[in-house]
Structure 1
Amino acid sequence: MSKRQDILDAALRLFTENGVRATSTKSIAQEAESSEGLIFKHFVTKDNLLEEIIKKGYQAAAKTTSPYLIGQTPQEYVANMIELPIILTRSNPDFWQMQYKIMPLNPISSRYHENFMRPCFERLTECFESLDYPEPDLEAELLLIHIDGVWKYFAANQLDLEKENALVATMKKKYNL
């Protein structure tokens, strides 16, 4: 593994445990068995380091979720969106725990998340429209609010998979899926 990746991994662990503000570049260097100078050489600032972690996390999320979301019928798409919180939080738990902790106060984190979720609103609206829901745009927004709350709940509480699946199954029943 490269020193650059060691720094990214160490920063993710420390940002998740302590938060971004409470994590110094010195502590990241120690955790990565590197130097602060190397951190600044690769990333210039701690914010750039954080943005690289977030960028990589959302790239991985897009890669993980695209097979579940592309080319699906409206029913399949809605069902897969309901499963999205499990898929995401299980695929990269440290990243989603960090996101849960920092997103409310971090504009970089919020921006990446909004960009990741934006296409889902449009597609959900189309799905609910084709499923003859009376207000497809409001239905899409409501489901996205639910999904946002659920992934945060899963990231914060690390439930067992059986309970996560039961919660998802209950939500699917509400949509007759």
Structure 2
Amino acid sequence: MSKKKDILKAALQLFTENGERATSTKSIASEAETSEALIFRHFGTKEKLLEEIIKNGYQESTKLISQFLHEENGLEYILKIVEVPRILVHAHPNFWKMQHKIIALNLLSQKHHDFFMKPCYDRLKIAFSELNYENPALEAKLLLIYIDGMWKHFASRQLDSKTETALTALVQQKYRAHN
């Protein structure tokens, strides 16, 4: 593994455990078994290091769900998007746990998350329109609020796997019943 990857891995681990503000470049260097100078050479600042982690996390997440959410049928898209929080958090738990800790206070983190979710909102509006919902845009917003809350609960490990599965199935059942 390259030193740059070691630094990214160590930083993600420490940001996840301690949050961005409580993590120093000195602690990252120690965890990565490298020097602070190398961190600054690769990333310039701690903020740019965090930005690289966020970009990488969302790129990986986009790859993961793009195949999963490539569904033409509106109802099937809705049913699948309800599963996204569980899929993402289980695939990259440290990234989503870190995001949960920093998103409220970090504009860059929020910006990347909003950009990541925008295509889902657009597709959900179409899906709800196809299913003749009275207000497709509001339905899309409501479902995204659910999704946002669920990934945060899953990332913070507030729910066990059985409850995560049951909640996902319950929401899916509600949308199936509407049809």
TM-score (norm: length of structure 2): 0.96
- After superposition, give the CA deviation of every residue in 1:143-174 in whole Å (9 maximum; x if it has no partner): 00110001001111253322211110011111
Aligned-residue offset at 1:52: 0.2
Task: Give the secondary structure class of the aligned counterpart of 2:82.
Answer: helix
Q: How far apart in 1 are the matches of 2:125 and 2:143?
A: 10
In angstroms, what is the RMSD of aligned CA positions?
1.0
TM-score (norm: length of structure 1): 0.97
Q: Is contact 1:85-1:154 (8 Å) kept? A: yes
2:121: which partner in 1?
A: 121
Task: Give the secondary structure class of the aligned counterpart of 1:123.
Answer: helix
Q: How far apart in 1 are the matches of 2:171 and 2:130?
A: 20
- After superposition, give the CA deviation of every residue in 1:106-137 in whole Å (9 maximum; x if it has no partner): 01100000000011111100000000111111
Q: How does 1:5-16 map to 2 (within 5 A)?
A: 5-16=5-16
Aligned-residue offset at 1:140: 0.4
Runs of 4+ in structure 1 deviating by more than 3 angstroms, as ranges, are: none
1:38: which partner in 2?
A: 38
Task: Give the secondary structure class of the aligned counterpart of 1:105.
Answer: coil
Q: Is contact 2:82-2:168 (8 Å) kept? A: yes
Task: Give the secondary structure class of the aligned counterpart of 2:163.
Answer: helix
Aligned-residue offset at 1:47: 0.4
Q: Which amino acid aligns with 1:43?
A: F
Q: How far apart in 1 are the matches of 2:18 and 2:4?
A: 21
Q: Which amino acid aligns with 1:165?
A: T
